Structure 1
Amino acid sequence: MPSNVEIKARVDSVSLLAQKAGALSQSDGTVIKQRDTFFHCSHGRLKLRDFMDGSGQLIFYERPDSDGPKLSRYSISPTSDPQTLREVLSCSLGVKGEVLKERRLFLIGQTRVHLDTVEGLGHFMELEVVMRPDQTVEEGQQVARGLMEQLDISEASLVTGAYMDLLLQTRSAPQTS
């Protein structure tokens, strides 16, 4: 199964981070709109990513819910009919929830840097160091930590879990008046 080392962090200044990522990638990044539908499954996470252009990906992944660079193993299957696939999976597994986001993707070496605006949550950054077959997890973690330093991402801004987990926590938090 392919793997990557990844981190997720809250972002205070979207423009500053975009400027730094743009300089490192020597690009303006690519904007991608996504709707991720998460389904109930017995282990790991299963989501359907709809690019809202008639294409999508069914993605299964496993990774620990911890902050800092962590290994994620995943399988991806492309689809040209995400709406019908969503209906089938919804009926068979049940929907855990949906995440709507606008992602700005920067490629820096072997790392995908995502600057995400997530509906209902705010602004985040994800690093995904795409592992080569000959690389160790520790080497991937070193690449991630090096980029964290170059992008000025502090340990205090790191978050655990998936956006879906954060949305579910926000919805279940007691409301104050």
Structure 2
Amino acid sequence: MRNVEIKALIRNPHEVNRKLNELGLEPPTLINQHDDFQNIPHGRLKLRSFEDNSGELIHYERSDNKGPKLSSFNKANLCAEPCEDMSKVFKRALGFYGEVKKVRHLYILWQTRIHIDFVEGLGNYLELEVVLEQDQSVEDGEKVRTRTNSVISQLNIDRNDFVATAYVDVSANKK
């Protein structure tokens, strides 16, 4: 699976939410997430848990540069064992890299997932993910993302606020 994504700090989340509502999008889905990142040699591995104790195991590789970047990922949905128990196993087996707790407001626009995230200890962020279909190229994703660039402009997101790395890395650099 692949997507093209971009992440940016939001300086005025209430204004961004107001402007997203003005676009006539469906109300957002509210998702509470807790991501535990493991030590691995390549890419990132996170165990994401939700309030109902279900979760996802996600491995992804993505460059750390500001602006649009291709992310390749594999994801497995978990529901048989509580994620808390799985987290203990992973921490013991692989070592613990860090954690991210966030509240996500998910909007959908065309092929784009718009996340308005409140990340505990970091603040508010916008994340756009253009989910690529299997037969779509990165260039196709860029075309879709170009349509979403107008959304970035409408939301008054300053390109200087683009973030290159994952939240877990931003958090580690703050310490």
**TM-score above 0.5:** yes
Residue 32 (str. 1) matches residue 36 (str. 2): no
Q: What TM-score do the two structures reach when normalised by structure 2?
A: 0.92
Matched, 1:118 2:119: yes
- 1:163 pairs, out of 160, 167, 172, with 167
Q: What stretches of structure 1 of length at least 5 have no aligned partner?
A: 172-177
Q: Percent identity?
A: 41
The 2-side partners of 1:145 and 1:154 are apart by 16
Tell me whether 145-154 or 120-129 shows the greater mean CA deviation: 145-154
For 2:152, the equivalent position in structure 1 comes to: 151
* Letter in structure 1 aligned against 2:131: V
Change beyond 3 A, Cα 1:109–1:36: same
Tell me the TM-score normalised to structure 1 length: 0.91
Q: Which amino acid aligns with 1:88?
A: V
Give 5+ residue unaligned stretches, structure 2. Answer: none
Aligned AA (2:34): R
Q: Secondary structure at the match of 1:38?
A: strand
Which residue is equivalent to 2:43? 44
Q: Match of 1:151, SS?
A: helix
Segment drifting more, 149-158 vs 81-90: 149-158
- State the one-letter code of the partner of 1:150: V
TM-fit CA distance, 1:16: 1.9
The residue number in structure 2 matching 1:67 is 66
Q: In the aligned structure 1, how far is the partner of 2:21 from the partner of 2:93?
A: 42
